[in-house]
Amino acid sequence: MPDPLPSPHPLALPVAPPRLPSRVLVTGGAGFIGSALVWALNSLGIERIVVTDRLGRDEKWRNLVPLRFEDYLEADDLMAPLERGALGRFDLVLHLGACSATTELDATYLAKNNFEYTKTLAHWALGNEVRFVYASSAATYGDGAHGMEDRDDTTAALTRLRPLNAYGYSKHLFDQYAAAMGVLPNVVGLKYFNVYGPNEAHKGEMRSLVHKAHGQIEETGRVKLFKSHRPDFRDGEQRRDFLYVKDAIAMTLHLAMTPHAGGLYNIGSGEAHTWLELTGALFAAMGRTPQIDFIDMPESIRAKYQYHTQADIAKLRATGYTAPVTPLADAVRDYVQGYLVGDRRLGD
């Protein structure tokens, strides 16, 4: 069965790239966005791909089963053969590998895994004239007090940002490092907002609300949402920039294949929706009447909770990306009916 896609097809890149990459390294390639990128590359006829990840004990290996690629390596086994040339030539690195848990408290682990590893891989890529595209995060913006615009990615502008958790800071460290080293114009950093969609089942508590709530509704017919603990937001009206993964990978590949694109880019819908709007779309996709219970937000996350995120994507649009963003209701319906029903992965 072909993958159901909302119309317009979000993988129809608005401008055909001058040339497709001949061989690609995808780190974190068994993960959520990484495996979606491998699927998208396959859809473009690209199969000369080397995938790295840490498969561990969860079931993200299932994301790889339908995909086509040359080789797989565990992440800790990548750099030695890469640096001695044993893996051959690449012309594109898509670096999605990272610990993405916003609740991770081991800052030393995050610094080594998310920052130091990215530095090492970036130096190799730049030294070998390989295009380097890496995942940053909207978590670098913190509470948004200094805006969520990506136009100014100078060291001075980045220094003003205040991430709210160690994960966001680990991503911010490399953004700052790349700016200070003067290499940002030669690489692409992607500040992903709230991405959701197929291939996220392994993420545990870091899954999107759509995935979590779908299970709640199947089991109880109801959804639990956090109460607001700020007087300027009513319960359920906290707002996030939700982006379907198929749009996220279309944006990613556009930037990867646009030679003049460089620096930091927001990857979002450009529109903020409330949690009530998101759950309403989910209930509609399941053919059910909304039933919502509001619960207290845990004390441990209240001070770090983002009440409003919205990507400014004008910089992305300026590179020639003209594809419309899939409307929220259409994206949720595609996800629920095409993947959550039947527990399917991209490419199944």
Label each residue of the chain as H, E or C.
Answer: CCCCCCCCCCCCCCCCCCCCCCCEEEECCCCHHHHHHHHHHHHCCCCCEEEEECCCCCCCHHHHCCCCCCEEEEHHHCHHHHHCCCCCCCCEEEECCCCCCCCCCCHHHHHHHHHHHHHHHHHHHHHCCCEEEEECCHHHHCCCCCCCCCCCCCHHHHHCCCCCCHHHHHHHHHHHHHHHCCCHHHEEEEEECEEECCCCHHHHHHCCHHHHHHHHHHHHCCEEEECCCCCCCCCCCCEECEEEHHHHHHHHHHHHCCCCCCEEEEECCCCCEEHHHHHHHHHHHCCCCCCEEEECCCHHHHCCCCCECCCCCHHHHHCCCCCCCCCHHHHHHHHHHHHHCCCCCCCC
Active-site residue, from 117, 134, 167, 265? 167
Active-site residue, from 72, 177, 203, 305? 203
Is 72 an active-site residue?
Answer: no
Is 244 an active-site residue?
Answer: no
Catalytic residue annotation: 167, 203
